[in-house]
Amino acid sequence: MAHRVGMEVSIAVSHAVQMARAEAIAAYPITPQTHIVEHLSSMVANGELEAEFLNVESEHSAMSACIGMSASGARTYTATSSQGLALMYEILFIASAMRFPIVMTVANRALSGPLNIWNDHGDIMAARDIGWIQIFVENGQESYDHTIMAFKIAENHKVLLPTIINMDGFILTHVVEAQEFLEQKQVDKFLPPYHPRFTMDPKRPMTMGAFAMPEMYTEVKYAHQVALTNSYEHILKVWKEYGDLSGRYYHPVERYKTEGAKVLLLIMGSLGEVAEVAVDELREAGEPVGLLKPRLWRPFPFEDLRAAVNGAELVIVCDRALSLGGAAGPVLAEMRSALYPLAEKPAVLGYTVGLGGRDIQPSTFKDIIRLAREELAQGPSQEFHIFGVRG
Amino acid sequence: MSKPMDQYTWQEIEIGGVLTEPGNAREYNTGDWRSQHPVWTKSRCIKCGVCWTVCPEAGISEEPGGYFDMNMYCKGCGICAKECVTGCIAMVPEEE
């Protein structure tokens, strides 16, 4: 059955792709995603993975090639980060509009400028509206698990949407962690071969990527919106099935010590584990503090979050990205939007943290909770704060 | 496509906007974009076919009897009128 291995998380992700029997990969290396595609390239070259590995000259080409390979009916994977994701930008919308179930790992990294290779969520938040399913993971085990599950979600004929797994650059990609791998036969049973709904077949000619006149464009976009919203129930089914297989169950919003909590921290990605330490220490001191860790970013789990904040007086959203000149970071804006219709709702304050790899300790979260409580008592002084900025 | 585009609901559109019926571009009469169209004066036409040859859109068809006329893909660019050896083609605005 399952076995535990100590391994760099990037390499574990490449093994997850191998065990998922990806058939086509096109990728361009970029820090901190490099180790994932480097190892996949080795696996293909060494005959350990029966797949086409297409070396391309840019991420724009990588995503374009992934669309072509997915259209040909192959199980398709790629990975990128930061500037690479930005260079893919125009093609990302086409992949989702054409409903190709490409799976992509984004090793989250700050966007230039200034040039910075370290972790925050600025890259994916700039590509928030691309119409893909978007999932955040917190540790190596989740990175492995969600890579395998993403193929099953994306390829479901009731979903057929490309899927991104966001994993924090360096904090996860370059860390060695003990992880539990499934056996190949378990993965094969869980994830049968991909059967495309439409494919390029001379015997059955069809048009993919046709243009839509003004009479048609709105209806096509609405169908996409419905598909992404409705993917929610299928995502949950796949997570449940995988939970029954592995013993690891995942939820759209993970809750940590939220029972009776009056103050809730909310953060996505690997810093959730750091925040847990802060919550542990505050709980030991008798403070009613809890933590919410949204895992599903698109489709956004509105109802789960509305239910999760029930009883809280203060929700502190810790964004890892900015919306410069706007009202809030992306997660804060979404949370305020989700809670606005509720008659009784907690105050929602925002503290953006960890930009461009700025180190975050458990004490950071304690400081933020203290500042937020003061702000709540005095009334909000501004739309949101960037924590720890000097001057 | 079995009906005009503005009559499709979002539920009727195939996943990813795929068109499963091949060759339906011919149903799209691109000629309805045009603002002018060619008119042949048959008495001056020598049936040489230069208009048919130079048309970039296959918008001219040979008629029975060897004369030429536009079809529904003519976009009204006027190259045929410019290149006609005898000057028998006139471009006429659509409104008239």
Contact A219 B9 (CB under 8 A): yes
Q: Is the pLDDT of residue A220 over 70?
A: yes
Q: Which residue in B has a C-alpha nearest to residue A197's C-alpha? A: B15
Amino acid letter for position A118: W
* Predicted pLDDT of residue B52: 97
- Cβ atoms of B41 and B13 within 8 Å: the answer is no
Amino acid letter for position A109: R
Contact A98 B17 (CB under 8 A): yes
Which residues of A are less than 8 Å from B8 in CB distance? Answer: 216, 219
Note the pLDDT tens digit of each residue in A64-85.
Answer: 999 999 999 999 999 999 999 9
* Predicted pLDDT of residue B32: 87
Q: Which two tokens stand for residue A44?
A: 């293909």
* Predicted pLDDT of residue B3: 83
DSSP string, B39-71: EE-GGG-----HHHHH-TTS-EEEPTTS-EEE-
* Predicted pLDDT of residue A380: 83
Contact B9 A206 (CB under 8 A): no
Q: What CATH number has the domain bearing residue B48?
A: 3.30.70.20
* Predicted pLDDT of residue B30: 86
Q: Which residue in B has a C-alpha nearest to residue A225's C-alpha? A: B10
CA distance A141 to chain B (A): 33
Question: How many domains, chain A?
Answer: 2
How many percent of chain A have pLDDT more than 90? 96
**Domain boundaries, position B74:** 31-96
Q: Is the pLDDT of residue B96 over 80?
A: no
Rounded Cα distance between A346 and A371, Å, is 16
Contact B16 A100 (CB under 8 A): yes
Task: State whether A95 and A166 are in the same domain.
Answer: yes
Q: Does residue A100 belong to the interface with chain B, where contact is any CB pair within 8 Å?
A: yes
* Predicted pLDDT of residue B22: 82
CA distance B30 to chain A (A): 13
Torsion of CA B11, B13, B16, B21, to 10 degrees: 150
pTM for the whole structure: 0.92
Q: Which residue in A has a C-alpha nearest to residue B15's C-alpha? A: A99
pLDDT band at A156 (very low <50, low <70, confident <90, very high): very high
Note the pLDDT tens digit of each residue in A335-353.
Answer: 999 999 999 999 999 999 9
Domain-located, residue B55: yes
Q: Is the pLDDT of residue A251 over 60?
A: yes
* Predicted pLDDT of residue A1: 63
Mean pLDDT, chain A, integer: 97
CA distance B41 to chain A (A): 36
Tell me which H or E stretch contains A349: strand A347-352
Closest partner residue to A98 among B9, B16, B23, by Cβ? B16
Nearby residues of A204 by Cβ (< 8 Å), 6 or more positions away: none
Task: State whether A193 and A258 are in the same domain.
Answer: no
**What's the rounded mean pLDDT across residues A122-142?**
98
pLDDT band at B66 (very low <50, low <70, confident <90, very high): very high
Domain-located, residue B8: no
Domain-located, residue B63: yes
Closest partner residue to A207 among B6, B9, B19, by Cβ? B19
Q: Is the pLDDT of residue B1 over 70?
A: no
Q: Does residue B18 belong to the interface with chain A, where contact is any CB pair within 8 Å?
A: yes
Question: How many domains, chain B?
Answer: 1
Contact B15 A198 (CB under 8 A): yes
**What's the rounded mean pLDDT across residues B69-88?**
96
Last residue of a domain, one of A213, A246, A279: A246
Q: Does residue B16 belong to the interface with chain A, where contact is any CB pair within 8 Å?
A: yes
Q: Does residue A97 belong to the interface with chain B, where contact is any CB pair within 8 Å?
A: yes
Task: State whether A343 and A224 are in the same domain.
Answer: no
Task: State whether A95 and A208 are in the same domain.
Answer: yes
Domain-located, residue B57: yes
* Predicted pLDDT of residue B28: 80
Rounded Cα distance between A46 and A55, Å, is 16
Contact B10 A208 (CB under 8 A): no
Contact B16 A222 (CB under 8 A): no
Task: State whether A58 and A190 are in the same domain.
Answer: yes
Domain-located, residue A8: yes
Domain-located, residue B84: yes
Note the pLDDT tens digit of each residue in A2-29.
Answer: 889 999 999 999 999 999 999 999 999 9
Task: State whether A49 and A161 are in the same domain.
Answer: yes
Higher-confidence position of B94 and A34: A34
**Domain boundaries, position A167:** 3-246
